[in-house]
Amino acid sequence: MALGDITFYESGSVGSPTSVKYPIAASATLLNAGEPAAKALGQPYVAPAADATPVVATDFWAGIAASTSTNTASVDGTVDVFVLQKGLSYLCAPKTAASWDTQAEYDALVGDRVLIDLTNGVYTVDTTDSATSGLVVMPLDIKKFPGKVRFAIRQAVDYLA
């Protein structure tokens, strides 16, 4: 997995995000800072989000990891997670840069509901719009943020909502 795949668009615009320390199960896979933390309802643990998530009413996220998890292959650990907060938006690289490389192309995707892609340990943003996708593409000046997609996370995938 890659460190820092997802960053805050404007961390100070709605106040500093709160972080919570969550347990994470023993696994060979670490949850790195800047990666989405999935959280199953009724379970204590967070885990790295899977590919093609979050899907509304199916997948739930606790937030974005603020630290790298301390779990090992055989021992549970912990990880600090920035909780989802209404009004925050995030930046991430697109899965297919050519789909977002002009302002007109980017603007045509604003408002689309999309998913995160996980390929070779790197999280990116996909382009396919679906009513059940848990991320929403937000406006962005691509000259100021080249190679990035701004998105918000729908409340329907917040495990606390």
- The domain segmentation of the chain, as residue ranges, is 10-83, 90-157
pLDDT at 63: 97
Q: Judging by beta carbons within 10 Å of its beta carbon (0-12, 13-18, 19+), is residue 5 exposed, middle or buried? A: buried
Tens of pLDDT along the chain (161 residues)? 578 899 999 755 556 688 999 999 999 899 999 999 999 999 999 999 999 999 999 999 999 999 999 999 999 999 999 999 888 999 999 999 999 999 999 999 999 999 999 999 999 999 999 999 999 999 999 999 999 999 999 999 999 98
pLDDT at 28: 87
Distance between CA atoms of 6 and 66, rounded to whole angstroms? 10
Distance between CA atoms of 15 and 151, rounded to whole angstroms? 18
